[in-house]
Amino acid sequence: MIEKEYITETLSYLGETITDFLDGKKSSPAIERAIVRSCAENYWFTEQNVKEALAAVADKMLDGKKLNDLISHYSFNRCDPLRAGLIMAGNIPLVGFHDFLCVLLSGNIAVIKSSSKDRYLIKALCGILSDKFPLLTERILFTDAKPQNIDAVIAAGSNNSARYFRMEYRDIPQLIRKNRYSLAVLDGNETPSELEALGHDMFDYFGLGCRNVSNIFVPQNYEWNLFFEAIKKHSYVLNHQGYSDCFRYRKAIAELAGENYLTNGFVIIRKDSLAFSAIAAINCAEYEDIERVKDFLSEQKDSIQCVVSKVGGIENAIPFGYTQQPELTDYADGIDTMEFLVSVSARKRNL
């Protein structure tokens, strides 16, 4: 039995290692190599984006006090650890790290199938953990195939892959995530700094994450010039050839289709439309009555990942600029991953 204190000490050490590397205080050849290889293999990974993801992980998920506070809310069963299969996505760097963290914190074994689009970063971080704390070697396993001989599975992917995972692992407890999108609700009273921060919610990682804002509600006769002026610092996205190509493509399609759209030269705002995200395009709908927007959010809650707003009465709204900086308790899809693992352990113990 590995004590919880050992796990939190280990993870806190990893957070310090990442922070020291990013601050230039200490070198980490393992992290450096992983960054280089990740950016070389995944067209959408840039050094800046990868380092931002590492910084968010270290700051939000690997603080010792936060880790101890989290596990204090759960009752862990002292029994043989579960083998928890993790099938990770690769749309943004380290997107599956929180699931891995929960498996370790709950005292279980992580059987990891990393994405081919993001396979170096998680292995580098796990290598740092195992080198410093050898007891964890038996708790972190990697597989190139779909995880087998497991007691539970946590998987993320598209709606199609979610159906496959549910069928493939129908005989064991499963936490399967599918497509979701995030949106912002504006009332026209946002400050320039708040709108600039919203730009991070839209453009960090080129908008490829389900936590990136891809849809916006605005009041009728909204002043778009102020919005575009506030987000112009994010025009750096055009420096990426892939994003630049997507922007030109979206603009051409909008023109050919006769869509009602606005643009500031690096993003398309598609008016009168709400839909899942497309790179370089934000969907927008105008409203007269904010209560109808709240009704929509309630009706669509199973498809929405995050809502960014300062409008009163919107449940679980996130401040501008923080969608891609989730805290430890910001569980994807609103499902408590720790509670899932704890409950599976309890059922296994009672068999």
pLDDT band at 75 (very low <50, low <70, confident <90, very high): confident
DSSP 200-249: HHHHGGGG-STTSEEEEEEETT--HHHHHHHHGGGGGGGGSHHHHHHHHH
Q: Percentage of residues in the chain with pLDDT exceeding 90?
A: 85
Q: 54 is written with which tokens?
A: 């590492």
Residue 1 has pLDDT above 60, yes or no: no
Which residue, chain included where needed, has tokens 């997107």?
95
Residue 92 has pLDDT above 90, yes or no: yes
Query: In angstroms, rounded to a whole number, what is the distance separating the alpha carbons of residues 101 and 122?
Result: 11
Domain spans of the chain?
4-179+336-350, 181-309
pLDDT band at 2 (very low <50, low <70, confident <90, very high): low
When mean pLDDT is compared across 202-206, 276-280, 323-327, 334-338, the lowest value belongs to: 276-280
Average pLDDT value for the chain: 93
- The Cβ of residue 294 has, within 10 Å, a number of other Cβ atoms equal to 17
Q: What's the number of CA atoms in the CB half-sphere (13 Å) around residue 234?
A: 25
CATH topology of domain 4-179+336-350: Aldehyde Dehydrogenase; Chain A, domain 1 (3.40.605)
User: For 279-306, what is the mean pLDDT?
Assistant: 94
Query: In angstroms, rounded to a whole number, what is the distance separating the alpha carbons of residues 43 and 205?
Result: 12
Residue 76: per-residue pLDDT: 73
- Phi first, then psi, for residue 344 (nearest 5°) are -65, -40
Residue 77: per-residue pLDDT: 66
Q: Are 254 and 270 in contact, with CB atoms under 8 Å apart?
A: yes
Burial of residue 77 (number of CB atoms within 10 Å: 0-12, 13-18, 19+): middle
Query: In angstroms, rounded to a whole number, what is the distance separating the alpha carbons of residues 266 and 243?
Result: 9
pLDDT digits (tens, 9 = 90+) for 228-247: 999 999 999 999 999 999 99
Cβ within 8 Å of residue 173, ≥6 positions away:
151, 152, 153, 340, 343, 344, 347
Q: Are 108 and 133 in contact, with CB atoms under 8 Å apart?
A: no
Query: In angstroms, rounded to a whole number, what is the distance separating the alpha carbons of residues 292 and 296?
Result: 6
Please report which residue ranges of 273-336 form alpha helices under DSSP H.
Answer: 290-299
Q: Are 47 and 39 in contact, with CB atoms under 8 Å apart?
A: yes
Query: In angstroms, rounded to a whole number, what is the distance separating the alpha carbons of residues 266 and 248?
Result: 9
Return the amino acid letter for 136: L
41 to 14, 108, 236: CA distances (angstroms):
24, 31, 22
Q: Which CATH class is domain 181-309?
A: alpha beta
pLDDT digits (tens, 9 = 90+) for 318-335: 999 999 999 999 999 989
